[in-house]
């Protein structure tokens, strides 16, 4: 069982990456539902992509990729999100995958939490997500945790 949790932790860390950057938390914009909505830029070892945050009818926030690379496999076929835990999302192209769903604002903790992270290339990953703003609201810190082990990734908010 210990080996299982170690593998999950390594997968999470590779998905989210680690950042040694120092960021100042910005609580004022964190609670503004309209502020979390919009587009973000992600750059990591796998390349660059953008995600869009939008509100769902149930009041939660969802992050969905657009324009992420790679979109096609080595044979030129469009890659689909076959590992998505939600069956109706499995036919979405990989570059349109829903990667965070279910975020709600937690006023007590002054952050968005309760979300679930989905990584399209790792079927077994079931991480919890928290999101808060740093650097005067110009950056969002996305934190994922699996079995108590977590990592953060910083996304730049686009205008």
State residue 55's pLDDT score: 94
Phi, psi angles (nearest 5°) of residue 12: -60, -45
Write out pLDDT tens, residues 36-56: 899 999 877 666 788 999 999
Write out pLDDT tens, residues 60-88: 999 998 877 777 888 999 888 888 878 88
Tell me: pLDDT of 4 over 50: no
3-state secondary structure 86-152: CHHHCCCEHHHCEEEEEEEEECCCCEEEEEEECCCCCCCCCEEEEEEEECCCCEEEEEEEECCEEEE
Per DSSP, 35 falls in state H
State residue 6's pLDDT score: 45
Helix, strand, coil share of the chain (percent; to 5) = 20, 45, 40
Write out pLDDT tens, residues 5-16: 444 444 444 444
Tell me: pLDDT of 28 over 60: no
Instruction: Please report which confidence band the pLDDT of residue 17 belongs to, taking 50, 70 and 90 as the band edges.
Output: very low
State residue 7's pLDDT score: 46
State residue 11's pLDDT score: 47
> Is pLDDT larger for residue 127 or for residue 59?
59
Write out pLDDT tens, residues 92-141: 888 888 888 899 988 888 888 888 888 776 665 667 888 878 877 788 88
State residue 24's pLDDT score: 56
> Measured between alpha carbons, how far is 107 from 148 in angstroms, rounded to an integer?
22
């Amino acid at each position: 069982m210990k080996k299982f949790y170690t593998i999950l932790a390594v997968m999470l860390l590779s998905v989210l990456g680690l950042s040694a950057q120092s960021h100042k938390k910005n609580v004022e914009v964190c609670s503004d539902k309209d502020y979390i909505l919009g587009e973000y830029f992600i750059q990591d070892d796998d390349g660059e992509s953008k995600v869009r945050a939008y509100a769902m009818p149930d009041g939660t926030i969802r992050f969905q990729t657009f324009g992420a690379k790679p979109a096609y496999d080595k044979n030129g076929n469009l890659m689909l999100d076959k590992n998505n835990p939600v069956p109706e999302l499995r036919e979405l192209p990989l570059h349109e995958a829903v990667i965070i769903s279910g975020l709600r604002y937690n006023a007590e903790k002054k952050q968005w939490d309760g979300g679930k992270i989905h990584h399209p290339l790792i079927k077994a990953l079931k991480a919890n997500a928290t999101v808060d703003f740093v650097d005067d609201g110009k950056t969002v810190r996305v934190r994922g945790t699996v079995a108590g082990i977590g990592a953060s990734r910083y996304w730049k908010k686009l205008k």
